[in-house]
Structure 1
Amino acid sequence: MFRNYLKTSIRNLIRHKGFSFINIAGLTLGLTACLLIGLFVWDENQFDKFIPAGDRVYRIYYQVTGKEGTNYIATTPPTFTTILQQFPEVEQTLRILNSPSKTLFEVGDKHLYEEEGIFAEPSFFDFFPLTLLYGSAAKALESPTSIVISQSLAQKYFKGQNPLGKEIKIEKTLFQVTGVFQTSPKFHLSINYILPLTAGVSEADLQTWEVYSYNNYIKLKKETNVASLETKFQKHTQPFIKDAHLTYLPQFQPLQAIHLYSSSFQYDMAQRGNSTYVKALTIIAIFILLIACFNFVNLATAKSLRRAKEVGIRKTIGASRWQLISQFIGEALLLSFISLIISGFFTFLALPWLNDFTHKQISFNLFANPVILLFLLCLTLVVGILAGFYPALVLAGFQPVKVLKGVAVPAGMPGKIPWLRHGLVVVQFALSVLLIISAIVVINQVNYLHQKDLGFNKEEIMFFPMRGDNLTKNYEAFKQELQQVPGVSAVAIGYGFPGDMFGDGMITVQRNGEQQSLKATQLMVDYDYLKTLGLQLIAGRNFSKKFKTDKDAYILNETAIAQLGFKTPEQALGHTVEWPTWRNPELIKKGQIIGVVKDFHYKSLYEKVEPAALQIYPEAYWKVAVKIKTSAIGTTVSQIEAVWNRFSPDYPIEYNFLDQSFTTMYKAEDNLKSLLWIFTSVTIFVACLGLFGLATYAAERRRKEIGIRKVLGASMNEITFLLSKDFIKLVLIAFLIASPVAWYFMNQWLQDFAYRITISWWIFAIAGLTAVCIALLTVSFQAIKAAVANPVKALRTE
């Protein structure tokens, strides 16, 4: 019997080539999209799963409340000493300090900058047992001059040799290689090298509660009540964390939640995913798969009229209803299996693009991962049964007497409106409209992020850190030589350029005999900072060497002035500001407000502009910004490098452009925009296949009616409108359902941005018109085909 069913199914696929192709194409696209998204989501959820006892490892962060509500990963170093000594539930602790963004490595004649380094305690490999290709994990970080490097660094510097015992000069200090580890793409820390914590900080630094720079981990003993321990720890540490304006509440974050649930954390060195985007892609994958299944139902139902006599004959010669249902579900399973094979091939072809797009190393080997293979087989079975069950019931329900007379009506359904088929079309296009609106909103928001006026000029500004004692001591002479380069229009030296690192601190302003305190970002600038970045003064004046007191003066931004209670920028001028210096908080720097600068976005548009204080503070200078004239940028960069080499020949220059830094900030949003375009297009195309199937069904069902109307004089346009209007109604209903849902979810997404677009009416108008036009193009093909058909062929059986 099975052999007979299989032969019949194959013959039907070949006989109805057009329907078979559309069915397979729809299911293949749906399964391919589902597989690609599924592989990405699977990979995102595998981070840190390889770590033994990972369910007992937690990272500590500070939940900061006050004038700024946020989460700080950077915590104080004594935190874990306290935990280990006071709480028996804690089995082990680990402190990690991030290395500077780029560090100079020197091996032989190679002088290269390396990134992604950390300082860590020896317990690092107890927490995270990375595979060591060389060396002993127990002894790798014992010596303050030891270094453990990644396999890629070992190959780069030592070319296949055993690197143990080899020396690497790092920022002019010698370190000895004591281990080589194999990197894991599923580890939340992306690291290239590990230095002992004692090589980066002193024992005194590890005892202070004033520095928030460390990533701290704990491993708990089995069966520990985490919530209870967290509460006890919060109470125990509060007396040590002193801040008059902000509250720092320690929290425990599970290790396996770090990758996906840390997107809002500041000062985080982890590889961060985005749980919201992962969930959104999962929903899109489900949407596409459902639409593909709905297509199958619509197309199979449309084809049912062509198979009505086959059903009637088979029933007449004794076929039972269950046999017919089994036959048609079997055909659906065969189509689903064929689609799975093709989609697997397409997934294999598309996977390199996905890896390149997401910077991942996702593999698609069904035999190496039996879980994925089992999942795909189950998915095929479920899709086949879900897609084929309703058409099987419809076909098996035909009454032999009626179908053999040419009246193809399912049993018990004469004259009824096909609510299910129409409902499926509404759902399909509701999901399509939802994605169209979402795509338009995301595209406009991303464009807004890239195009919004930031309050400064970020174009053609090259910036780089100062390196080497000679350059650091003679930065003014270095600046003067840069200003002589023909292609340079301005140069500034400081700490705290837009898109870069920042420090903050409390400032106190004397006003009406009272002191007002405010936490402000400290931008350490020189006399040409405002000119180089193109900042706009709205009150007062810029720093000037003509006034000796300007070395102690301050320029505040609009937000700082407003939060201090001044009604106008002019009112703030002349008031005294006090600031505890970074080098020595006991030393108070006191000076007057000489200017107010218009607010500018020195951080991403996720965050509101915060109070900022600009001041002259040479002790913190470490970066140079060079404004380059638009002509001959390449030549100018070469001349800047030549000046650099005269002042700091031992260090290669490593520069970036300011606009690149801001572009990198919104990389995740750019990726989301691209993915939405792709999957929205796939969803619309697959939905159109279903609409095409329903249009085909309608044209066949009304074939004789159309023939009679043509004989009575109906024009082609009238018949086309007759067949199209019902579908347009369905699309409009879908639009009405999808619009409020899309508005709600996209409005929630926009709340993550401090600066965002508004969801205007025209976005919905464009989405609705797009859906209607797509539906008309899809339906009109079948409608025109039916309208131009010879009515004689439709009426000759009457």
Structure 2
Amino acid sequence: MLRHHLLLFLRNIKRQKSSFLINVIGLSTGLACVMLIALWVSDELKVDKFYPEHQQIYQVIEHIQFTDGLQTLFETFSPMAEVLTEQIPEVKYAAATIQPGWFGKHVLSVGGENNLKAVGQLASEDYFMIFQHKLIQGNREELLQSPDAIVISKSLALSLFGTIDNVVGQQVEYEQKRPFQVSGIFEDVPLNATDRFDFVLSTEAYKDVPPWTSLNNWNSSGPQVYALLDEGADIAQVNAKIDKIRKEGNENSIRTPMLIPFSEHYLYGTYENGVQVGGRIEYVRLFTIIAILILIIACINFMNLSTARASGRLKEIGVKKAIGAKRATFIFQFLSESVLMAFIALVVALVLVTLALPEFNTIIGKQLELNFSPVAIAAILGISVITGLIAGSYPAIYLSGFNTITILKGKLNRSLGELWTRKGLVVIQFTLSVVLIVSVIVVYKQIEYVQKQNLGYAQEQIIRFNIEGKIKDQLSTFVLELRKLPGVKNASSTTHSMIGHNWSTGLDWDGRDPDDIKAFQIVGVDYDFVETMGMEMKAGRSFSREFGADSARIILNETAIRTIGYQDPIGKTVENGRAEIIGVVEDFNFKSLHERVEPLFMVMMPQGVKYVMVRMEAAREETALQEIQQFYERFNPGVPFEYDFLDENFQALYESEQRVGALSRYFAGMAILISCLGLFGLAIFTADRRRKEISIRKVLGQSALQVSVMLTRDFALLVFLSIFIALPIAYILANDWLAGFAYSISLRIWYFLGAGLIALLIAMLTVGSQAIQAANRNPVEGLYEE
């Protein structure tokens, strides 16, 4: 029986080559999209879950109560680690860290040679007991016991020593000054880790070094603290104990620490007023839905073409029914054929995925590979079988339900329900496609908007690099010499990266309600910072050498002035008279436009600055960069010169949106392609079925244009209906997505009409090409065949 079904399947392919090709192309394209998205989703879901005990690792976060609501920080005070291990029995280990994003790159060398920059982090003693990176050398319990210990990755060991053998006990110079002793080597941090680093130093080594003195401060919010809990520990009870300890220490504290699962932070990292409301999981859900929709569109093609071509199989079905074949036999046959078709499409899809994966990796910034593990193979085969069953379900039920006598008479009774089902499937296809097109337009316009938005300072022609090596001790001299270089317009230094959140604190002012607690961003700067960044002073002045020491003076932004309510702020004081307001700077945005500008103040902090900012003259960037690099290497020998452009780093804040936009364009294109393949197949079938009608109309005087319009009219009406249904859905989805931005575009009508017009034009070109071909056929051929 199976051999018989296979033979019939092959014969039908030979007889209906166009339908077969359209089905294979549609299904394979849909399966390829699903597999690519599945690879990405699977990788996202595995981030930070490679640790042996990741389900027992928790991170301390803090909800801070301000007047306008709760602010959630993923940092806390360093001594929290000691509190957890000493007072919470369920905590096995706890460790404080300064993450790579804050600690940054530093120069390491061996014997004054092999100077190279590597990404590091600070961590307290129990770090490697919580995060059990695979060790090549060293005792896990003793890795960070000494303040002079350094733990390095395998790659870093090879770069510094040329080997990983007998490296433990060797010395590594840090920043060409302080020697550290290698206490262990770990395997390189996997690519699917939130934080990737090359070396780890003990927090004890930095507890007295600015600005890391906050490691001992109970009022700081710099370090991140992690804990490993006993298996089966009740997290609700643990958090209740932490809150009890907090209240016993200071019942009026506005800070409420609590533990959340560490491995969920990556996907569920967005909080509003203390409530978890999403994060990257939203994109995972979005593309999962897109994958399902694309597969549905591909299955609809198969259903439509199979039912439309049913008349070609009347004789086969009639003869089998006449000799006693049951309906279940036909259902099994047609489902088997559709599953076999899905497996053929699967082979083609695997080829497409292999070809597309390098470009796909470039778009998403990952290094995904096709993995043919038993689980992956089972998943791929499972998706193919399900696709085949879904695609073949309706045709199987439809074809197997024909009446035997009607079939043997050679007349297929095409019911109104069947006609509307096929039309309904076409409407669903194009509704989904139009929604995707609108989404692509809105994402593109929003990204374009944030890229062109005035941030309150001029990002262009500014490079940023870390203060390290000899520069730390002679910063003023270095910056003054920088300004003299050809192509350099200005230079200064700051504690703030100007990208994202750094530090926030409270601020006191005359007349403040004791219950009015607000968070203020703090930016430590040196002279000429405002001028270098191209900021505009709305009142007063910036920090200047002409006015003597400005260490007891402060500059606030416009939002801060509105927050404290001063009408004429220049000359007034804050912090109980300790800081005089000398200027008001125009609001500027250093976070993504998902967030509104926060109250901010600047203070002179020349000893705590971390970054040098250099503004170059327009059209002289290349000259300036060469001069800066040569001067840097002379001034700071042995330290590699690494810099980045501020505007490029700011755009990186929208990396997720940019990737979503790029992927949406590709997948929307695939959805349109698959939908049009279905229309093309139906157009061929319609023209073939109405060949006699077309011939008679042409004989009676209708032109080719009139016949073409007749053939395309029904399809056009279906696409119009799809547009009518899709646009309200697209508006709701676009509006919801834009609500995540504090500053966003206004939805314009042409976004929606344009998407509808694009879908209509593509559909009409697809159907029209076949309609014109049919209309120009010699009518004698159609009549002769009849």
Q: Counterpart of 1:756 in 2: which secondary structure?
A: coil
Show the counterpart of 1:584.
none
Distance 2:497 2:135 in 1: 39
CA apart distance, 1:7: 1.5
1:111 aligns with 2:134: no
1:623 aligns with 2:624: no
Show the counterpart of 1:215.
224
* 1:81 to 1:43, Cα distance in 2 relative to 1, 3 A: same
* 1:135 to 1:514, Cα distance in 2 relative to 1, 3 A: closer
* 1:513 to 1:548, Cα distance in 2 relative to 1, 3 A: farther
Distance 1:333 1:746 in 2: 36
In the TM superposition, 1:508-587 aligns within 5 A as 508-510=508-510, 519-548=519-548, 550-566=550-566, 571-578=568-575
1:392 aligns with 2:392: no
Show the counterpart of 1:759.
747
Q: Counterpart of 2:255 in 1: which secondary structure?
A: strand
AA at the equivalent of 2:306: A
Q: Counterpart of 1:493 in 2: which secondary structure?
A: strand
* 1:642 to 1:286, Cα distance in 2 relative to 1, 3 A: same
Aligned mate of 1:590, from 568, 576, 579: 579
Distance 1:375 1:150 in 2: 35
Q: Deviations over 1:83-111 (max 9, x none)?
A: 33333333332332335211111124211
Distance 1:228 1:667 in 2: 38
CA apart distance, 1:406: 4.6
CA apart distance, 1:282: 0.7
Distance 1:774 1:676 in 2: 18
Show the counterpart of 1:642.
630
Q: Deviations over 1:128-161 (max 9, x none)?
A: 2222122232332333222221121122222234
Contact 1:9 1:330 in 2 (8 A): no
CA apart distance, 1:747: 1.7
In the TM superposition, 1:488-527 aligns within 5 A as 488-496=488-496, 498-499=498-499, 502-510=502-510, 519-527=519-527
In the TM superposition, 1:195-344 aligns within 5 A as 195-201=201-207, 208-240=217-249, 247-262=254-269, 274-316=280-322, 319-344=325-350
Q: Deviations over 1:659-712 (max 9, x none)?
A: 122122222211111111111101110111122233233333433333333232
Aligned mate of 1:739, from 713, 717, 727: 727
Distance 2:395 2:6 in 1: 18
Q: Deviations over 1:323-381 (max 9, x none)?
A: 33333222212111111112122223333333343343433232xx2111112222222
CA apart distance, 1:452: 0.9
Distance 2:481 2:95 in 1: 47
CA apart distance, 1:48: 3.8
In the TM superposition, 1:697-716 aligns within 5 A as 697-716=685-704
CA apart distance, 1:442: 0.6
Aligned mate of 1:654, from 637, 642, 645: 642
Show the counterpart of 1:176.
181
**Aligned residue-pair number:** 772
CA apart distance, 1:723: 2.1
1:57 aligns with 2:84: no
* 1:595 to 1:517, Cα distance in 2 relative to 1, 3 A: farther
AA at the equivalent of 1:82: V
In the TM superposition, 1:125-204 aligns within 5 A as 125-162=128-165, 163-171=167-175, 172-182=177-187, 183-201=189-207
Distance 1:220 1:736 in 2: 54
Distance 1:206 1:525 in 2: 22
Contact 1:518 1:564 in 2 (8 A): no
Which piece of structure 1 moves more, 657-666 or 232-241?
Answer: 232-241
Contact 2:96 2:225 in 1 (8 A): yes
Q: Could you tell me the TM-score, scaled by structure 2's length?
A: 0.91
Distance 2:135 2:603 in 1: 48
AA at the equivalent of 1:505: T
AA at the equivalent of 2:49: K
Aligned mate of 2:381, from 366, 374, 377: 377
Distance 1:46 1:76 in 2: 29
Q: Counterpart of 1:377 in 2: which secondary structure?
A: helix
The unaligned stretches of length 5 or more in structure 2 are none
Distance 2:775 2:349 in 1: 36
Contact 2:150 2:181 in 1 (8 A): yes
Distance 1:603 1:783 in 2: 54
Q: Could you tell me the TM-score, scaled by structure 1's length?
A: 0.90
Which piece of structure 1 moves more, 145-154 or 441-450?
Answer: 145-154
Q: Counterpart of 1:55 in 2: which secondary structure?
A: helix
CA apart distance, 1:46: 1.9
CA apart distance, 1:302: 2.4
Q: Counterpart of 2:562 in 1: which secondary structure?
A: helix
* 1:474 to 1:73, Cα distance in 2 relative to 1, 3 A: same
Q: Counterpart of 1:572 in 2: which secondary structure?
A: coil
AA at the equivalent of 2:171: E
* 1:725 to 1:251, Cα distance in 2 relative to 1, 3 A: farther
Distance 1:513 1:745 in 2: 41
AA at the equivalent of 2:267: L
Distance 1:615 1:754 in 2: 27
Show the counterpart of 1:583.
none
AA at the equivalent of 1:576: T
Q: Counterpart of 1:507 in 2: which secondary structure?
A: coil
Distance 1:229 1:752 in 2: 32
CA apart distance, 1:289: 0.7
Contact 1:26 1:292 in 2 (8 A): yes
Contact 1:511 1:575 in 2 (8 A): no
Show the counterpart of 2:436.
435
CA apart distance, 1:770: 0.9
Distance 2:339 2:703 in 1: 43
Q: Deviations over 1:430-455 (max 9, x none)?
A: 11111111111111111112111112
Which piece of structure 1 moves more, 427-436 or 742-751?
Answer: 742-751
Contact 1:302 1:696 in 2 (8 A): no
Aligned mate of 2:773, from 771, 780, 785: 785
Aligned mate of 1:687, from 668, 675, 684: 675
* 1:170 to 1:544, Cα distance in 2 relative to 1, 3 A: closer
Show the counterpart of 2:75.
74
* 1:119 to 1:595, Cα distance in 2 relative to 1, 3 A: closer
CA apart distance, 1:399: 4.2
* 1:315 to 1:794, Cα distance in 2 relative to 1, 3 A: farther
Q: Deviations over 1:13-56 (max 9, x none)?
A: 12222111111011100001101110111121123434334323
Distance 2:352 2:478 in 1: 57
CA apart distance, 1:631: 3.2
Contact 2:215 2:223 in 1 (8 A): no
CA apart distance, 1:776: 0.8
AA at the equivalent of 1:370: P
* 1:159 to 1:485, Cα distance in 2 relative to 1, 3 A: same
Contact 2:203 2:215 in 1 (8 A): no
Which piece of structure 1 moves more, 332-341 or 223-232?
Answer: 223-232
CA apart distance, 1:754: 1.3
* 1:159 to 1:646, Cα distance in 2 relative to 1, 3 A: closer
1:26 aligns with 2:33: no
Aligned mate of 1:408, from 407, 412, 423: 412
* 1:700 to 1:322, Cα distance in 2 relative to 1, 3 A: farther
Q: What RMSD, in angstroms, separates the aligned Cα atoms of the two structures?
A: 2.9
AA at the equivalent of 2:571: G
